[in-house]
Amino acid sequence: MIVVLDTETSGHLGNKLSSVIEIGAVVLTEKGIEVGTFSSLVKPTQGLGGWSKYAFNVHKIDPDLVMAAAPADQVWEALLSWMSLHAPVTAVLAFNVPFDRGMMKKTFPASEHLPWGDCLMRRTSMALQGNRKSISLMNACAGLGVYLPERTDSAQHRALFDATLAGRCHAMLIERGAS
């Protein structure tokens, strides 16, 4: 099984105070068929401060809900438990592996031991443009013919929504033989 995950954060990777505040994941068969989902808010490891205002403007997650969420160690255990239901997990993918892997490691240090795989953004860019330059998730979906449900304000930049779209991109790359 393959897990495709996405994170929403309280800031950028380079900010030492930023952490994962939401994680969403889908589990796919080796052929790219979705068979399960996971989603959880995560209480920030460093609390919230003025530095997180920009991030909250992007993903629109209610800061009060985030502060009431389960702490990182409990969410990590829940994620591992969910993944164990779909064992063996052969790879953990993300649309932007360098960012998501880095933020996961900051918030969940043991995540460095996950079987991280290729960056879907780079693979999609190579398949569509012949290079490994950045491409947005929305442009990747459009280029691969992935159905894009209309985003509502509440779904904008949410982890499970983006993990689902990234998983569908992965499935299209498999279908095209670009895996």
Give per-residue pLDDT as tens, 11-58.
776 677 778 989 999 999 988 899 999 999 999 877 666 555 555 556
For residue 165, the enclosing domain spans 2-175
- pTM to 2 decimal places: 0.89
Q: Give the pLDDT of residue 96.
A: 95
Best CA proximity match to 60, nearest among 157, 148, 161 = 157
Q: Give the pLDDT of residue 47.
A: 63
Contact 19, 8 (CB under 8 A): no
Tell me what the mean pLDDT of segment 100-112 comes to. 94
Consecutive H or E run containing 119: strand 116-119
**In this structure, what CATH number is given to the domain that contains residue 61?**
3.30.420.10
The yes-or-no verdict on residue 1 having pLDDT over 70 is yes
Q: Give the pLDDT of residue 50.
A: 57
Return the higher-pLDDT residue of 19 and 97. Answer: 97
Instruction: Give the integer Cα–Cα distance in Å for 168 and 93.
Output: 12
Q: What are the distances in angstroms from CA 10 to CA 52, 60, 100, 177?
A: 5, 11, 13, 36
> Total structural domains in the chain?
1
Tell me what the mean pLDDT of segment 163-177 comes to. 92
Instruction: Give the integer Cα–Cα distance in Å for 41 and 176.
Output: 34
Location of structure tokens 């990590």? 76
